[in-house]
Structures are given as C-alpha cells and as structure tokens.
Amino acid sequence: MTRDESPCILVTGATGTVGSHVVSALANRDDVSDDSDATDSSTADADGGVTVRAGVRDPASAADRFAADVELAEFDFERPETWGEALAGADRLFLMRPPAVSDVKRHITPFVDAAVRTGVERVVYLSVVGAEKNPLLPHRRVERHLESADASSTFLRASFFMQNLNEVHREEIVERDEIFVPAGGGATSFVDARDVGEVAAVALTEPGHGDRSYDVTGPAALTYRQVARVFSAVLDRRIEYADPSIPEFAWRMRRRGFDWSYVAVMVGIYTTARLGLADRVTDDAARVLGREPRTLREYVADYADEFRR
C-alpha cells in the first residue's frame, strides 16, 4: 500500500461478539478522520480513513447490522469459493476462528495463505489467553501458522468475555436471579468484548503493533461471588452465585439445549477458573487504548436492560 492509498480491512466474524465491535470501532475511527481531516469522504480516505469490509455468511440478513459505509462481503471459512471476492483489494485482516469451525488445517490456515497471497500485509488475530502454553489449542495452531506467514501479525490473547454473561448465562440471571457457572471460588480477569474490538481497531490502523502479542484482560480479577454482588448493586435486586458442581452445570446446560461438545468447552473454561488459572490481569489493553479497560460494573450498567425481567 502506498501512502496515498487508504487501507482496506476485512473483518471476519463481523456479526460476532468481538467482530461486531471491531467493525464499529473501525467505522468510528473513520468518522473521526472525516470530521477533522477532510471535507468529503474521498479526501477522508486519502487522508487516512479506512475501508471497512464485514465478512459475513449471509449478507442479506446481516445488512442492517452495519453502518451504510461498511462494505459487506459474503464470506465463509468452509466455502473457499467465497474467499476471493471477500479478499479482493484487502491489505489488512481481522481474523477470528469461529467456535464451530474446528478443522484449522482445512478451513483457517488455507484462508490465511490465500489472504497473504492476495495482498494482506497485516493480520490481527483473536486468540485466547494462555494460548502460548498449549500447543494443542486450535488458537495456538493458527498463531504458529501466522508466525511463519509472510505478513505481520498481532495476537490478541483475550481473557474471558464479560458478554458471556448476557449471551450464555442471561436466562438464569433473568429468570432465577442466579449466576450458574461451576467456577468455585476462582477469580477471572473478565474483559469487555468492546475493549477487545477497540484494541483490534488500534492494532489494525496504527503503527507499532506488528509481530506482537497482547494479553487483553479487564482491569481486575473477580470471583463469581463478587460478580453477583456487582450485578445486585447495579440491577438493584439480589443476584446469587449458585456455585454448582460440574455435573450439575453440565446437566443444566444440556437441558437448556446446548450440545455436549459446547458443554465440554464451557466445563474446560470454568475448570480453569476453578483452579485459579484465569485470574491474571495485565495492562496491555490500557497501554494500547491509552485508557483503562471497562470494569464489570460499567458492563452491567451498559447491558442492564438485558438483565431485567
């Protein structure tokens, strides 16, 4: 890319928990350029704006989720015939691995190769905290492939998203006033997915983040008893931490309709917390963002409507 050309960034998982915030953070950065640097959008691009392209499996149903200036491209990791158009002209990539796409060698690494072949020079990859210690994790396998690829990459090794509480555990919070996860007394360094999206936007658009990895955590590690206290205070009703055993949790999730493989992944995650291995807090997000990451209290306040009856 020459200095005069604006970058084109393909965002995968653009309808997902983090990807949706990557798109909006990039689009907002574009707005800032429009306001301050330019009188019309074409000049804004030449002056540092970006073209944001959301890669989605079903463009028709996703269209109204994005601002008008976000390009939409049909993209499916499992359908290589969609890759060419999604990548056309893209020189940067936000990469995530959807939980349902398990075959990294078949669907993720060949896509990375296609991206680099067609001109992607910078990749920001959504990984998971601790990936570097576990070569069997699919996230680490993607990281290793990126390390050997002919493009600069930034790994965002994120801790547990606060948004799991409204996406997966909302039902128990709303209907039973309880948080039902088998994490025992272990603490978790919850991160707000909005902050992960904003860190990605910075790494995709500003210099100095290539060939680095960031452990993106929230500002504090909290036990679920402390989490329940924050919910109670913000929502102004008593929310309890149920502290179930792992079998109790697994059966409840099965009864709610989650399949066994998903339940197994959740049990793995909460066992890590139970063992006290999910509590590391870093200042990586603060250093990249130039501000403190959001607290759990801010998250509950912002999502309060989702937790009301």
Ligand X SMILES: NC(=O)c1ccc[n+]([C@@H]2O[C@H](COP(=O)([O-])OP(=O)(O)OC[C@H]3O[C@@H](n4cnc5c(N)ncnc54)[C@H](OP(=O)(O)O)[C@@H]3O)[C@@H](O)[C@H]2O)c1
Q: Which stretch binds ligand X (CB under 6 A): 94-102, 170-178, 225-233, 250-258?
A: 94-102
Nearer to ligand X, 48 or 164 (CB): 164
Binding mask 62-81 toward ligand X (x if CB under 6 A, else -) reads -------------xxxx---
> Of residues 158, 201, 204, 267, which one binds ligand X by CB under 6 A?
158
How many residues in the shown chain lie near ligand X by CB under 6 A? 26
> Of residues 6, 8, 10, 19, which one binds ligand X by CB under 6 A?
19
Q: How far is CA 222 from CA 19, 98, 125, 281, in A?
A: 25, 27, 26, 10
Q: At what angle do helices 19-37 and 193-205 cross, to 10 degrees?
A: 50
Q: Which residues contact 274 (CB under 8 A, 6 or more apart)?
A: 182, 183, 184, 185, 186
Q: Which stretch binds ligand X (CB under 6 A): 14-22, 43-51, 66-74, 298-306?
A: 14-22
> Of residues 126, 183, 266, 288, which one binds ligand X by CB under 6 A?
126
**DSSP state for residue 257 in the 8-state scheme:** T
Q: Which stretch binds ligand X (CB under 6 A): 37-45, 92-100, 115-123, 240-248?
A: 92-100
Q: Which residues contact 110 (CB under 8 A, 6 or more apart)?
A: 80
Contact between 118 and ligand X per CB under 6 A: no
Q: Minimum CB separation from ligand X for residue 228, in Å?
A: 18
Nearer to ligand X, 44 or 196 (CB): 196
Contact between 213 and ligand X per CB under 6 A: no
Alpha helices by DSSP H, listed for the chain, are: 19-37, 41-46, 59-62, 83-87, 104-107, 109-117, 138-147, 164-167, 170-176, 193-205, 224-235, 246-255, 260-274, 284-289, 296-302
Q: Minimum CB separation from ligand X for residue 33, in Å?
A: 26
Instruction: Measure the CA–CA gap between 36 and 33, rounded to whole angstroms.
Output: 5
Nearer to ligand X, 30 or 76 (CB): 76
- Copy the structure tokens of residue 122: 């910078």
Residues 126 and 44 sit within 8 Å (Cβ to Cβ): no
Q: Which of 20, 49, 28, 26 is nearest to 37 (CA)?
A: 49
Q: Minimum CB separation from ligand X for residue 207, in Å?
A: 25
Q: Which stretch binds ligand X (CB under 6 A): 3-11, 97-105, 272-280, 299-307?
A: 97-105
Number of H helices, E strands in the chain: 15, 11
Q: Which residue is nearest to ligand X (CB)?
A: 16
Summarize as ranges the residues that interact with ligand X (CB under 6 A): 13-19, 56-58, 75-78, 96-101, 126, 128, 158, 160-161, 164
